[in-house]
Chain A
Amino acid sequence: MIHYFIIMTKNFSNINWKAQALGDHAIQFYVPEKMDPAMISEIKCFHDFIFSQQLKEIKDIIPSYHTLTLIYDIELLNAPLDFANDLIEKFARRRKTEVAATAVNKIIEVPVCYDEIFGIDLISMSTKLNLSTTEIIKIHTENVYQVYCLGFMPGFAYMGDVNTKIQTARHAQPRKNVYAGSVGIAGAQTGIYPMHSPGGWQIIGRTPLKIFDKDPAILSKFNMGDAVKFYPITRAEFDSLNENELH
């Protein structure tokens, strides 16, 4: 086995960090591959630390479940390995002086209309899971979810973890069009489609809130590490709150 890319390992705060070059213009820091809510605050902490350095070499800092990836400017950064090493050393020193990672965020409450006209997969899920639609809704609104990361499209937040009782795999064949605001489940994850798009998640309802706004002062409603709780609203409340285009 040839290792082309593993450049270093660093242990601190009981976490085993590694870093690798991702091609010629990115560095990826990573921890063992696992969907672990406890890692969200650690990765966010590292993200925020790098962001606070305002490094001109870095064009993007992209977190995910178990990675933090830096996109850099080739013309400004010559030795990515040394750079990565420096950065994680500094972060390790910083982490030593902190008691815990970033404090718990305020909970963002999201209204969802679980009417079957919006929750187009509720009935089939109810059969599959052997639960009533009311029970599915109750279970979906019980948990406080955390945002692991964003991706797929602007503002799409991957949240978890969904109670195992209502976990449902995504559709084998994605739908051609899922409406903006649609709330879905895919395995242990739940999320909201910020705009109309093709999509394979199991749709259980729709939020009237605008999830992504092109206004540069607003942009994404959610950020990595946010805590999110859904609550049910009626069709009439949905109509009066709706901020999304209907088509």
Chain B
Amino acid sequence: MSIQITKQGIMDTLQDKGRYGFQHIGIPPCGYLDYLSAQLANVIVGNPKEAPIFELHFPASSFIFNEAHTICISGANFVPVLNDKSIALNTPIQVSKNDTLHFIQPLLGKTSYLSIKGNIDSIAWLNSKSDFSSHIKTNDQFNIIEWDGETKINSNKTEEEESQQYSIDKIQKHIFNSNEIRFIPGPQWNDLTNESILNILNQTFNTSLNSNRMGYTLKGPSLQLNEQKSYLSSAVTRGTMQLLPNGEVIVLMANHQTIGGYANIGQIILVDLPKLVQHKSDTPFRFSITNVETAQSEYKQMQKCFS
């Protein structure tokens, strides 16, 4: 069984939960940007929540299915079209041999996920199938990806599916209906001027177009340190808010460098990171401070959607 990419999207990749255990030699962890939507798409087709999945950005890749498959699209809504009919998000969809899938418009969000029931037949590198480069690795010049799929689909609405609908709504609402992004202050928080601290907490920010799998650059009030100084590099992680010398904040994402020498003013909490990932540049958001306990408890609460 296989899927063919007929048009390669410029930033599309295959991702799983990421590559851990190698950051001490400078290897970025990679992995899903919006892990909640990726896990959701996986669970809906019956895959393990941390299975490899296609991560798509607009303009996204186009696909042709060489066999029947069960698929699901979650996350951003790029208006997916199967052959010539638009299809629903967050729903298992049965596709047949020679069906085509393409995406026509970035309606909501920035990152979409396409799950396919079964296992992708690709080689893991350092325990992960996440693409390191900015394109989908394919087997040959025909852009074919082998997928060991299953196509059985349960058409009876069961209790399990009803509870799944509840989870879908909860996750969608969390990611797309909130303009508040929470963070925990970082080691250099106290090096910020008082005015900058007030700006972070009271002004709005936008994501800029200069945002990718390495990091999201924010537009907002310019932030300053009490004194311009350089810091010795230390480890950063996904969600780290680095203050650049020009006063801009960059939030590190999955493909981040492992250590960094800019001021680390805070970390966006994991459960809120998908909100930022999906935030388009025209919708402002606000920051608020939280703590480790709240962050961890909400993360675990949200993960219960997948159990």
Judge if A235 is at the interface, Cβ distance under 8 Å. Answer: no
| Chain A window 9-53, contacts with chain B (Cβ cutoff 8 Å), 1 for yes, 0 for no | 000000000001111111010100111000000000001000000
Chain A residues in 8 Å Cβ range of B300? 74-75
Judge if B234 is at the interface, Cβ distance under 8 Å. Answer: yes
Among the stretches A91-99, A103-111, A145-153, the one at the interface with B is: A145-153
Judge if B269 is at the interface, Cβ distance under 8 Å. Answer: yes
Q: In the bound complex, what is the Cα–Cα distance between A90 and B277 (angstroms)?
A: 39
Judge if A219 is at the interface, Cβ distance under 8 Å. Answer: yes
Judge if A112 is at the interface, Cβ distance under 8 Å. Answer: no
Chain A residues in 8 Å Cβ range of B189? 4
User: Among residues 198 to 251 in chain B, which have CB atoms less than 8 Å away from a CB atom of chain A?
Assistant: 231-235, 237, 239-240
Residue of chain B at shortest CB distance from A219:
B25
Output the least CB separation between B190 and chain A (Å). 5
Question: Once the chains bind, are B237 and A23 in contact (CB under 8 Å)?
Answer: yes
> Contacting A63 at CB < 8 Å: which of B22, B24, B126, B296?
B24
Judge if B29 is at the interface, Cβ distance under 8 Å. Answer: yes
- Say yes or no: A60-B125 contact (C-beta < 8 A), given A23-B240, A24-B295: no
- Say yes or no: A156-B234 contact (C-beta < 8 A), given A64-B259, A75-B300: no
Question: Once the chains bind, are A28 and B187 in contact (CB under 8 Å)?
Answer: yes
Q: In the bound complex, what is the Cα–Cα distance between A149 and B295 (angstroms)?
A: 30
Residue picked from B26, B27, B187, most chain A C-beta under 10 Å: B26
Residue picked from A24, A34, A150, most chain B C-beta under 10 Å: A24
Question: Once the chains bind, are A150 and B26 in contact (CB under 8 Å)?
Answer: yes
Question: Once the chains bind, are A25 and B235 in contact (CB under 8 Å)?
Answer: no
Among the stretches A65-73, A128-136, A236-244, the one at the interface with B is: A65-73
Residue picked from A35, A47, A216, most chain B C-beta under 10 Å: A216
Interface size class of B (residues with CB under 8 A): 35 or more
- Say yes or no: A155-B25 contact (C-beta < 8 A), given A23-B184, A74-B299: yes
Q: In the bound complex, what is the Cα–Cα distance between A151 and B262 (angstroms)?
A: 14
Question: Once the chains bind, are B303 and A151 in contact (CB under 8 Å)?
Answer: no
- Say yes or no: A151-B233 contact (C-beta < 8 A), given A4-B185, A4-B189, A24-B296: yes
Question: Once the chains bind, are A152 and B240 in contact (CB under 8 Å)?
Answer: no
Residue picked from B25, B185, B266, B292, most chain A C-beta under 10 Å: B25
Output the least CB separation between A178 and chain B (Å). 16
Q: In the bound complex, what is the Cα–Cα distance between A62 and B233 (angstroms)?
A: 11
Residue picked from A20, A21, A30, A223, most chain B C-beta under 10 Å: A21
The tally of residues in A whose CB lies under 8 Å from a CB in B reads: 48
Output the least CB separation between A187 and chain B (Å). 10
| Chain A window 199-234, contacts with chain B (Cβ cutoff 8 Å), 1 for yes, 0 for no | 000000000000000101001100110000000000
Q: In the bound complex, what is the Cα–Cα distance between A28 and B289 (angstroms)?
A: 20
Residue of chain B at shortest CB distance from A152:
B257
Question: Once the chains bind, are A21 and B184 in contact (CB under 8 Å)?
Answer: yes
Judge if B193 is at the interface, Cβ distance under 8 Å. Answer: no
Question: Once the chains bind, are B185 and A5 in contact (CB under 8 Å)?
Answer: yes
Question: Once the chains bind, are A22 and B267 in contact (CB under 8 Å)?
Answer: yes
Chain B residues in 8 Å Cβ range of A5? 184-187
> Contacting A64 at CB < 8 Å: which of B22, B185, B235, B267?
B235
Chain A residues in 8 Å Cβ range of B266? 23
Q: In the bound complex, what is the Cα–Cα distance between A156 and B23 (angstroms)?
A: 11
Question: Once the chains bind, are A20 and B20 in contact (CB under 8 Å)?
Answer: no
- Say yes or no: A28-B29 contact (C-beta < 8 A), given A5-B187, A74-B270: no
Judge if B8 is at the interface, Cβ distance under 8 Å. Answer: no
Give 9 closest A-B pairs by Cβ, nearest first: A23-B267, A69-B235, A151-B259, A24-B295, A62-B235, A59-B20, A67-B234, A220-B25, A4-B185
Give 19 new A-B contacts, CB below 8 A, not counting A23-B239, A64-B235, A67-B234.
Answer: A3-B190, A5-B185, A5-B186, A20-B187, A21-B292, A23-B186, A23-B269, A24-B270, A25-B270, A26-B237, A34-B232, A69-B235, A71-B237, A149-B259, A151-B259, A155-B26, A219-B22, A219-B25, A223-B24
Binding site for B on A (CB under 8 A): 1-5, 20-26, 28, 30, 33-35, 47, 59-67, 69, 71, 74-75, 78, 80, 149-156, 158, 214, 216, 219-220, 223-224
9 intermolecular pairs with C-beta atoms under 8 Å apart: A4-B189, A22-B267, A23-B266, A59-B21, A60-B22, A64-B233, A66-B234, A74-B270, A153-B26
